[in-house]
Structure 1
Amino acid sequence: MIIGGGPAGFSSAIYAARANLDMLLLEDKILGGQVRNSYTIENYPGFKKVSGSELADIMQDQAESLGAKIDEFDVIERVEFSGEELIVETGDYIYKPEAVIIATGASPKKLPIPNEEKFSGKGVHYCAVCDGAMYQDKVVAVVGGGNSALEEAEFLTKFASKVYIIRRYDYFKGEKAMLEAVENNPKIEILYNEDLVNVEGSNFVEKAIIRNTKDNTEREIDLEAVFGYIGTEPKTELFKDYIKTTKTGYIVTDENMRTNVKGVFAAGDVREKEFRQITTAVADGTIASLAAEKYIVEKRRDK
C-alpha cells in the first residue's frame, strides 16, 4: 500500500505495478500533491517547461496504464503498525498490507501572524495557482525566500497590478535564474530585511504591517492579499505513535527509505532530508518501492 499521491507516491506506484505487485495507492485529497499547484516547472528532466497539473496528470496516467490501482479522496482514519500486522483503516475498508510506503508529503506552514485564521481565504492564502485569479488588478504580497516564493510572485503578476515580496533577510535561497527573472519584472518589488507582523482589514485584508529586521521600525502597506511560502510541515500525524520522526515531524529513514518499523517505508517530502525537489521525491519513491518489493519477497521466502 502506498499512502499519498504526489510524485513520490506515483513513482512508487509505477515501480510496484511493473513488479506485478498487488498494490493500492490511497490519496485523501486531489492527486498530484504540491506539484499540482505549481504553475510552471522548468527543472524536471525531459520537460523544458511543463505545468504542475500537466506533470501530475502524466504521472498518474503512466501509473494507471501499468496497472496501478489508485483511490482518490479516500481518507485514512487510523493506522496500526505494531505487532506482526500492518493495518490501514479507511471509512469503508480495513487493509492489512504486507508493506506500506508513506508518501504523504508536506503542507505549507501557516503564516505566524495574529490574524492568520481570521483572514484565511479572505486575503491570506498559500496557493497562488488556486487563488491568484481573485486579485485581478490588485496589490498583493508574497512572504518567503525560496524558489516557491519567487515562482509564485512571478505567477501572480499575471493578475495583480503589483506584487511585493516580503523577505526578512537580504538574500534569497532560490535559484539564481529565478531570482533574476523576479528582479527584472517591473510588477515586482522586493522588500529586503522586512518581516510580516500582521494583516488587518474589516471583512477582508486591506493592509499589511511589516517590521524592518535591522532597526525594528514598523510601517503599513496597502494591499489585498498575502501569500505565504515560508516552508512546509510534514503530514505525519497519523503515524507519530509508531514511526520515528525528527522534532519537526519528518520521518527518519535509512538510505533505502526504511523506517524503524519493519515493512514500513517513507518517501518524498515527508522524509527527513536536506533537499526537497520533485526529482528527489521521485527518486525516493523508486527506492522505497524496490525496497518494499525486496522486503515482501524475503518475508514470503522465510515463511
Structure 2
Amino acid sequence: MGDVTYDLIIIGGGPAGLTAAIYGGRAKLRTLVINKGTVGGLVNTTREIVNYPGYGQISGSDLMKDFKKHADSFGVEFSRDEVVSVNFAQEDKIICTKKGKEYTAKAVIVACGSEPRLLNIPGEKRLQGSGVAYCATCDAEFFEGEDVVVVGSGDQAIEEGMYITKFARKVTVIVLHDEGVLDCNKISAERAFQNEKMEFVWNSTIEEVLGEANVEGVKIKNLKTGRSTKLPCQGVFFFVGMIPSTHFIKESGIGMDRSGYIPVNDLMETDLEGVYAVGDNRVKYLRQVVSAAGDGATAAVAAERYIEELNAFSTSVLKSDKKVLLLFFNALNNESLEFSTLLEEANQELSEPYKVVKVDTATKKNLAQKYDVKIVPSVVVLDRGQEIKRLDYSMEKEKLNAQLR
C-alpha cells in the first residue's frame, strides 16, 4: 500500500479534473487531485472565455479559481506534484510522484491534458524563454514595441496573434496555405485581416529560429518556390497544435492511439478497470472547457459506482459469514448461462446452501485476474474471503452436488 490511500485520485487539475473532483467530493469519496503546475492548467493562459454557460465573459484563471473553490467546499485534497509512474494492474491502483510520494486509490481519473507541440527545428528549444514562446497571454507583454512572428493559422494562433498586437509593433503570421486561407473560424479571420499590425506570409513554413542569446530572426521557406528568406524579429510564438501529456502512463497498459490520446467509452472508462480518462488527453471531437467539465462529471459518477461495487463485493463476499461460490462467467456465452442455472439449482438442493456471487468477466477483468481465472465458466469457493477450493466444470448436476457437499 502507498503512503496514503484514497477512494479517488485525479491526475491533473484542469477543468475536467476539477469537475471530477467536485463530483467526487460531493459523493463523499476521499478525493485527491495531483497537479504538477498551477491548478487550472492551460485554461489559466486563456485571457477571455465567452462561451462557458452562465459566465458571459470571464478570464480562464478566474473561472478555474471558481472551479477550485467549489472543489474545496466539498473537502477535496490537492497536491502540487508530478506523477512519474503508475501501476494500474491491481485492484488498488498505485501512483508514484516526483516528490517521492506513493498513493493508492480504488479508482483513478487521468485528466493530465495536453501541451504545445514542438516543431523541433534548429534554435527552437535552445531559445525557449529567450524569445521563443507558446503562450501569448503569458509572454506577449515582453515584446512591447518589437517585431514578432506567429507560426500557425488555427483559432489559437490567430486569436493569440491578435492579442500580441496589443504589445508588439508588428505580428507576422507564417501560414502553410494559399493566400487568404486560414484554419481558424471566419470571425477571427476577418478581424485578423483588418488588423493593421498583422501581416501574413503565405505558402510558407519556418525552418530555423535565428539568434545567439536571444531570438534575432527566423528562416522562412516558401513551399511553392523552395526559396528560403530571413525575417528579422525579436520573438517567435508557436501555435502548431497540441499533444497529450500521457507519456508517464505509456507503460501502464492503457490503450492509446498513435498520437497518445486515450480512447474511452461513454462512461469515460479506459480498457483498464477502475481507470478513466477525461478532457484533452482523451480521444474526442471537441476540446473546450465545457466539454472537459462534462467528461469530468461522467467519469466521477462512473468511478463512484465502480467503488460502490468494490465495497459491496468486500461486504457480500470477503466478509460473508456463509461460504461463497464465486462464479466467473460470460453473460454473452450460452454455456456460461446454462452452467450458472445448473449451479444455482444444485446449490438450492443442499441443506446449507452457499452464497452464490456471479462475476461477469467481460466487465470485471480485475477480479478474474485477482483469482487467476483464465477459462469460464469457473467456480472459486471462498470461506470468509479465503479460497478453499475450486469446482471442476461439469454440466451434470450429480457431479456438481458431489463437489458441493
Q: TM-score of the superposition, structure 2-length normalised?
A: 0.72
Return the letter of the residue paired with 2:193: E
Matching residue within 290, 296, 301 for 2:307: 296
CA–CA separation in structure 2 for the residues paired with 1:300 and 1:209: 61
CA–CA separation in structure 1 for the residues paired with 2:42 and 2:212: 31
Residue 216 of structure 1 aligns with which residue? Answer: 226
C-alpha deviation, 1:240, in angstroms? 0.9
Matching residue within 149, 158, 161 for 2:166: 158
C-alpha deviation, 1:92, in angstroms? 4.8
State, as a whole percentage, how many aligned pairs show the same letter.
38
CA–CA separation in structure 1 for the residues paired with 2:187 and 2:168: 22
Residue 320 of structure 2 aligns with which residue? Answer: none
Residue 39 of structure 1 aligns with which residue? Answer: 47
Moved more, 133-142 or 271-280: 271-280
Distance 1:45 1:174, change over 3 A: farther
Report the 3-state secondary structure (helix = DSSP H, G, I; strand = E; otherwise coil) of the residue aligned with 2:96: strand
Matching residue within 94, 109, 119 for 1:87: 94
Report the 3-state secondary structure (helix = DSSP H, G, I; strand = E; otherwise coil) of the residue aligned with 1:99: strand
Residue 197 of structure 2 aligns with which residue? Answer: 187
Q: Which has the higher contact order (CA 8 A, sep 6+)?
A: 1
Provide, for residues 38-61 of structure 1, a one-character-per-residue CA deviation record: whole Å limited to 9, x for no partner. Answer: 112222222322211111111111
Return the letter of the residue paired with 1:302: F
Provide, for residues 34-82 of structure 1, a one-character-per-residue CA deviation record: whole Å limited to 9, x for no partner. Answer: 10011122222223222111111111112112322222x2122321111
Residue 16 of structure 2 aligns with which residue? Answer: 8
Matching residue within 263, 268, 271 for 2:274: 263
1:240-251 superposed matches below 5 A: 240-242=250-252, 243-251=254-262
Moved more, 271-280 or 94-103: 271-280
Return the letter of the residue paired with 1:199: V
Taking only aligned residues, the RMSD between alpha carbons, in angstroms, comes to 1.4
CA–CA separation in structure 1 for the residues paired with 2:255 and 2:86: 15
Residue 152 of structure 2 aligns with which residue? Answer: 144
C-alpha deviation, 1:2, in angstroms? 0.6
Residue 392 of structure 2 aligns with which residue? Answer: none
CA–CA separation in structure 1 for the residues paired with 2:200 and 2:48: 21
Residue 122 (structure 2) pairs with residue 111 (structure 1): no
Is the 2:13–2:35 Cα contact (8 Å) retained in structure 1? yes
Is the 2:19–2:293 Cα contact (8 Å) retained in structure 1? yes
After TM superposition, the runs of 4+ consecutive aligned structure 1 residues lying more than 4 A away are: none
Can you give the 5+ residue segments of structure 1 that lack an aligned partner in the other structure? Answer: none
Report the 3-state secondary structure (helix = DSSP H, G, I; strand = E; otherwise coil) of the residue aligned with 2:216: strand
Residue 75 of structure 2 aligns with which residue? Answer: 67
Is the 2:278–2:299 Cα contact (8 Å) retained in structure 1? yes
Provide, for residues 182-206 of structure 1, a one-character-per-residue CA deviation record: whole Å limited to 9, x for no partner. Answer: 2221111122222111111232111
CA–CA separation in structure 2 for the residues paired with 1:223 and 1:54: 33
CA–CA separation in structure 1 for the residues paired with 2:138 and 2:193: 24
Residue 180 (structure 2) pairs with residue 207 (structure 1): no
CA–CA separation in structure 2 for the residues paired with 1:75 and 1:33: 13
Residue 178 of structure 1 aligns with which residue? Answer: 188
Can you give the 5+ residue segments of structure 2 that lack an aligned partner in the other structure? Answer: 1-8, 315-405
Matched residue count: 302
Report the 3-state secondary structure (helix = DSSP H, G, I; strand = E; otherwise coil) of the residue aligned with 1:46: coil
CA–CA separation in structure 1 for the residues paired with 2:131 and 2:101: 39
Residue 285 (structure 2) pairs with residue 277 (structure 1): no
Is the 2:111–2:279 Cα contact (8 Å) retained in structure 1? yes
Give the number of the structure whose alpha-carbon radius of gyration is greater: 2
Is the 2:91–2:106 Cα contact (8 Å) retained in structure 1? no
